[in-house]
Amino acid sequence: MTRLIVAAGGGGDAVAAAVLDAALYRGSGEPAVILTYAWDRLLIDPVPGPRGPDNFTGLTPLTQTVWTVPASAEPIAPAGSTLPRLASELPHTFALIDPRHGAAGIKRQLNALISHLNPDSIDLLDVGGDILARGDEPTLRSPLADALTLAACSQVAAAVRLLIAGPGLDGEIPAEDLTARMGQAVLTLTVDHIEPISAVLEWHPSEATGMLAAAARGARGLCEVRDAGLPVPLTDQSPLIHEADLHQALRRNELARALLATETLGQAEQHSREICGYSEIDYERNKANWLDSQPHRKLDPTHTLHRLDEFEAEARRRGITHTTFRRITETLGFSGNQRQALRELLISHRPSQYEAPLWHISREA
């Protein structure tokens, strides 16, 4: 079998796609081709927005419009990307979504891949489920990437299955609001499904996929994420993968419908501003400018652990049981390039609180 999986939002969705491929198609031919954005959080990539092919060296052409990201590829500074390291640690082929030409350009890429690969299956995977949004939900934060891939996938001349992993885990649309928008679960992820990406989760910054993995390993509670400290429930529903109707999702998603004929990323951004009231790339631009203005904080172990105690005491009062290392890094005022060192410091001093890949907040100080 030849399989194509489209990672709807990039980043952690690409890691989740590798889990999906092994869990649903184990033993069915070569590992899937995963079509994904190079769009990482500012902790990894200080340049706002997604990267295109001209932001890398060492890409490999797959078709005239699609490039793959091998382990030897490198992002051109100051840009950053997790894709080359993913390619070095996972057996899948990672192909690059180029959103610079809007949904129409992504559709052309998909058609070229379908013609080249003649895949036996095509899955569009979103962790969390914000691809099922209407566009007016007050909790929605990052709809643009998902809406672009939904718009593109809805226009190809091939069957595309829409899958939602970990309903609500992106902290955007609550899981209970998604119930009526999804079909039955097709798979419950377990610790065995997560094992192939265990090493990746030790460094990859994705919060939603990290929570998906932790839930599959049995974590339950309330996890605080992002710089805003959003509380995300970890429940028995969290490790589930559901199928949803792609064309119903398009009919519901006003932003995706507006993007169908877009030919530039700028056009897509403007539609997002008009329909959702914002563009997440504008948010990244503003945050990047703010981060540039912040002083560098020294990673002193004693002072850092004291400040962690203060954060945990406040989180405990809010009913929080888990948090992510991204949340801790930003809350304690450290930069993205200090995240891994901070993580290693905390695990070395308090290993019992590491509930991979999350940080467990104990009941008592």
Do the beta carbons of residue 34 and residue 22 sit within 8 Å? Answer: no
What is the model's pTM? 0.96
Classified as helix, coil or strand, 9 is coil
Distance CA 251, CA 78 (A): 39
Q: Please, which residues have CB within 8 angstroms of residue 310's CB and are 6 or more apart in sequence?
A: none
Distance CA 126, CA 167 (A): 9
- pLDDT of the residue at 365: 55
State the angle between helix axes of 280-292 and 265-276 in degrees (0 to 180), rounded to the nearest 10.
Answer: 100
CA 199 centroid distance within chain: 17
Distance CA 199, CA 191 (A): 13
Do the beta carbons of residue 284 and residue 42 sit within 8 Å? Answer: yes
Q: Please, which residues have CB within 8 angstroms of residue 27's CB and are 6 or more apart in sequence?
A: none
- pLDDT of the residue at 220: 98
Distance CA 98, CA 49 (A): 12
Series of mean pLDDT values for 10-residue runs along the chain (365 residues): 94 96 88 97 93 98 97 97 98 97 98 97 98 93 96 97 98 95 96 96 96 98 94 98 98 98 98 95 94 90 97 97 96 92 97 97 77
Classified as helix, coil or strand, 100 is helix
Do the beta carbons of residue 87 and residue 94 sit within 8 Å? Answer: yes
